Structures are given as structure tokens and as C-alpha cells.
Structure 1
Amino acid sequence: MTIYFYGSDEVPYGCFSNFSDHGLDLDGQWWPTSEHYFQAQKYVGTRHAERIRRARTPLRAAELGRDASVPLRRDWERVKDDVMRRAVDAKFRTHADIREVLLATDDERIVEDTTTDNYWGRGRTGTGKNMLGRILMRTRSRLRVDFADAR
């Protein structure tokens, strides 16, 4: 079986979305969502990054993070997967309730069901890289080991 997710309001898997209302503490700061963290890292060390962190919603953080008039950090393409990995890991380590949802997926394949993103999701043709789904599955494996005694 494959688990498809997209919207943060979908039950029970909306928590897999970077827009889900699950804040995290990373790099010495509190981030309202993993979307806020991810988008801000494109401009780390700038005022724009702080503007993204303070955005009222994850959608606004995403919009600010896609502002083509603000230059991205030079190494973004090289580090973006690791940035996403760190955000997802922190989110699921912080919140026991959604950690349990992720762990309860056993070994099911997890896919971000978006037709508009061929990199983070499955894309229009269904053959996208699904990097967010892959990161979630990798995170699940690590959490299974790290929280084995707690279950």
C-alpha cells in the first residue's frame, strides 16, 4: 500500500505536510512550521530569513521564500535536501503525537501527492522524485530505532 498526503488538514496524514501546525526548535530559534524553516534557510543570515521566520502562515513563508527578487544562498541546490531532512527530523522528534502517526505507517511507501512539484512530490506524471516522501520514510526508520524503547 502507498500512503498519499498533501494538505495539512487531511486526517491522519496531514501532519506530513510542511504546512502542518507543528513548530520546531532548530539552530537556536523557534520556527512555526517546517515550511518556515525550510524557506528561511534559502536566505540564512539575512533580514529576509527573519521575515520568513516571522511570517503569519506557512503559505506566506512559502511565498516569501520564492521571491525571485531576493538572491538565494549560493549552495542552496547542494544543501536543500539536508535542510529538509533536518526540519522533518526536528518536527517529528518534537511532537510525540505525529511521531506516532509516522511510526504507525510501518513500511508503507509515503508519497507527497502533488502534481505541481516533480522534485519534492510525485509530479504531474506520477514519476517525480518524491524527495519529501523519501525523507519522511528515512526519518521513520531513524525514529523507529531511536524511540524503540518508548513504544
Structure 2
Amino acid sequence: MSEFKVFGENHRSAEHAFQITKAIRNGDLVAAEKIRSATTALDAKRIGDCISKNESWEKEKTEVMSTIIDAKASQIKPFQEALQKCGPKSIIAEATYDDFWGTGINISATLKTNPEAWPGKNMLGTIIKDIAKNYRRKPRSWSLPRQPTRKAARASQKEITDFVSQLKEGPSKRSRENINDTSGHDTDTSEQG
């Protein structure tokens, strides 16, 4: 387990964070303390399952979980790296018998069943997939110009410095001849007749 901070408190797991928040927002401070002391996420869930929930909690629980998962992703590097590997067509499923957070079926059945046929809503999988979009490595656009390398930037800077130096010195005889030759006029008058 890796600790992370959300809602102003360090938590042992996302499950701890969710169940503590649920306990506090439903006014069960005794359960919140028990959840803080729980050594595993499963223990935290078991304590949290005994909390009486109010109507307000049912409306806000998905947003709470989204905030928790986002905090976990921003603070726990291995989780963030896993999210970066998720492609846009990846299916992320919480394969549990939970009909709201999970697929409603076990992992074997989840893997063998079309997502549209899952009895559960898979809200946790949906939240994780949505958050993964923020961490996914984006392909480099071909339309954006590439930044010059340091060597190229130094060479370019040297060219600019040399050009400015030449301007300060004034035109040389050779550069005046080049200007005359490129003007399209013949400057030699000896052949005119």
C-alpha cells in the first residue's frame, strides 16, 4: 500500500479514503476512526459497509471516488505509469460482484462477457478510464515544429552574431561587388558603344 493525501488527510489506500469520507459525510465519526485504524483496504471496506448512508451521499459518492482516484494518480508513480499505458480503447473493469462500482460478475466472467452485458455499472472502471485520459502519453503532432537541438541553436546564434558584426563593420568590397552583380545591371561601361 502506498499512502497518498486527499481531502486534507493521508490515507493508506483509495478504499480507506473513500470509506473515511463516507463515514464523516454520513456523521459516523466512530466508524471513521475504526477505518483509519484498519490495516487493509478490505478491512476498511467491511467497516464502511456498516455505515448508514444518507441521500446526499448517494448523490456525491461518484464525485468523491473520482477525486480520490485523481489524487492517487497524481501522487503514486506506479499507478500513474499504469494509467499512461492505457490506450483510448482500453477497457478498465473492476471485476467484483458489486453492481455499482464493479462489473457485477467475477474476473473470469468479466473477461468473457461483452461490457454491454455486464450486470454492474462498473463506475470505478469508468472513473479510472476517464482519469487515465489525463495521464496518457500524447503522440507528438507532426504539425508542430521541432525545437532545434542545442548544437543547432548555438550554430544559429553564431550566424546571427557574425551577421551583426558584419553590419557594424560596414560592407566589404566583395559584398559591394556581389550587390552590383546581382542587381541585373551591367556595371562595366567599357563595352557600351
Q: Above 0.5 in TM-score?
A: yes
Shift of 1:144: 3.3
Question: SS at the partner of 2:136?
Answer: helix
State the Cα deviation string for residues 12-68 of structure 1 (Å, max 9, x = none): xxxxxxxxx23210122110000001111111162321321221111110111011x
Q: Is residue 78 of structure 2 the alignment partner of residue 89 of structure 1?
A: no
Shift of 1:94: 0.5
Would you tell me which structure has more helix in proportion to its own residues? 2
Q: In angstroms, what is the RMSD of aligned CA positions?
A: 2.2
Partner of 2:123: 131
Higher RCO (C-alpha under 8 Å, 6+ residues apart): 1
Q: Is residue 58 of structure 2 the alignment partner of residue 66 of structure 1?
A: no
Q: Structure 2: how far apart are the matches of 1:129 and 1:72?
A: 20
One-letter code of the match for 2:91?
R
The alignment-based identity, stated in percent, is 33
State the Cα deviation string for residues 79-130 of structure 1 (Å, max 9, x = none): 110111011111111012221111102221111122x111111113623211
Give 4+ residue runs of structure 1 displaced > 3 Å after superposition.
none
Unaligned 5+ residue runs, structure 2? 106-116, 141-193
Q: Which has the larger radius of gyration?
A: 2
Question: SS at the partner of 1:112?
Answer: coil
Q: Is residue 61 of structure 2 the alignment partner of residue 80 of structure 1?
A: yes
Task: Tell me the TM-score normalised to structure 1 length.
Answer: 0.73
Q: Which residues in structure 2 correspond to 1:34-45 (within 5 Å)?
A: 34-44=14-24
Shift of 1:74: 4.2
Tell me whether 126-135 or 45-54 shows the greater mean CA deviation.
45-54
Q: Is residue 101 of structure 2 the alignment partner of residue 109 of structure 1?
A: no
Aligned residue pairs: how many?
124
Q: Is residue 132 of structure 2 the alignment partner of residue 140 of structure 1?
A: yes
One-letter code of the match for 2:134?
R
